Amino acid sequence: MKVVLNAVCYIISEIEKNVEYLHCFSTDILFLSNKIFNKNIKRKYPFINNLLENFSITDKYSIHADTKMVLDKAFVKYYSGQPVDICPSSLLKYLEKDLIGFIEIFSEYIAFIDKLEVRNALKKPKVGEKDLDAIYSFNYSSTIERLYSHSNINFIHGKAGKNSNKKIVLGISELQNQILIDNKAYGFVKYYQKLVNNTDYQFLRPKSPIVAIENKMKSPSLTKYHPIEVYIWGHSLDSSDSDYIHEIFSFNQGHESSLRVIVYYYSQPHAQLSNLIAILGKDTVENWMKNEWLEFIETPDIQRLNFDSSYVDDSISEFSKTVLKPQETRNIAFT
């Protein structure tokens, strides 16, 4: 979505700089000049023509064996019948309305798939057999509830279905493009959608099992503890969820570490590691790796786990294997 919005903002900025990109063919038809799509933009946004057409921002118009792009007049400002500028607010509000419609359709689709019955019960990987204090699901379906009868499951981005009291959230983490900021296009932002839809916008702080356990560790009477383990499964760690990632890695600031993060990856960990570095910075990721607070483990093969009797699931973290007893505490400082 971020790339799509940036592509649309490019069109807006180019027309604002040069209104001659708009050509009136008749009172009802307004052409968008092909000159706006230079080589650099085609290289950066190779899909931009299809994007504008698929979102009904533009349409194709054939004239004298030549195909031109027609811009919807609702997105243009006129003076004395002539186009004088593009109207960013109208275009962005139109896209926000489209997003709301898509979210509703997508939610119904997920809810429909959710009703399909599984013929055979699936074996759970070893990490799922651990005694978990809480599960935070970024998935919109109730799959996690079917696999784990857990009393503390939190649907961070909402839950699909008309009967759900938490509408699903689908968007970007924050507004970065100046055009979006100037036009207050917060409808595309996840935290805004959560506030409007009353979706759960509390994550780890201030009320969560992790914080509660960490607060207990502040007690001077506590002499032993076991660091909290956070398992990240099936999440790309993309920048769209950077708020949550910053929240997780805001721990371990004191003298003693209270948290270990175990990231499960498919095939290669490069993409997730790169995303973490982009969000947190090289120094933070290196610090967590050097202190063995961050571990990457390959996701077990779920198909083989269920259909190959010789397959061994070895997906438990090295930290879990080595820490068999609570560790002695030293002077724990929380800042």
Of the two residues 117 and 83, the one the predictor is more confident about is 83
Domain range for residue 53?
2-86
212 and 321 share a domain? yes
| Per-residue CA distances from 149 to 142, 144, 161, 199, 289 (Å) | 11, 8, 20, 22, 33
Quote the DSSP letter at residue 126: G
292 and 305 share a domain? yes
Report the run of H or E that residue 285 belongs to, with start and end. Answer: helix 282-290
247 and 181 share a domain? no
Read off the pLDDT band of 331 (50, 70, 90). very low
80 and 185 share a domain? no
Place of tokens 């503390």: 152
Percent of the chain with pLDDT over 90: 29
Q: What is the pLDDT of residue 211?
A: 66
Q: What is the pLDDT of residue 146?
A: 81
Domain membership flag for residue 123: no
307 and 335 share a domain? yes
Token pair of 284, please? 């933070």
Read off the pLDDT band of 332 (50, 70, 90). very low
Domain membership flag for residue 295: yes
Read off the pLDDT band of 321 (50, 70, 90). low
Domain membership flag for residue 127: no
The domain tally of the chain equals 3
226 and 157 share a domain? no
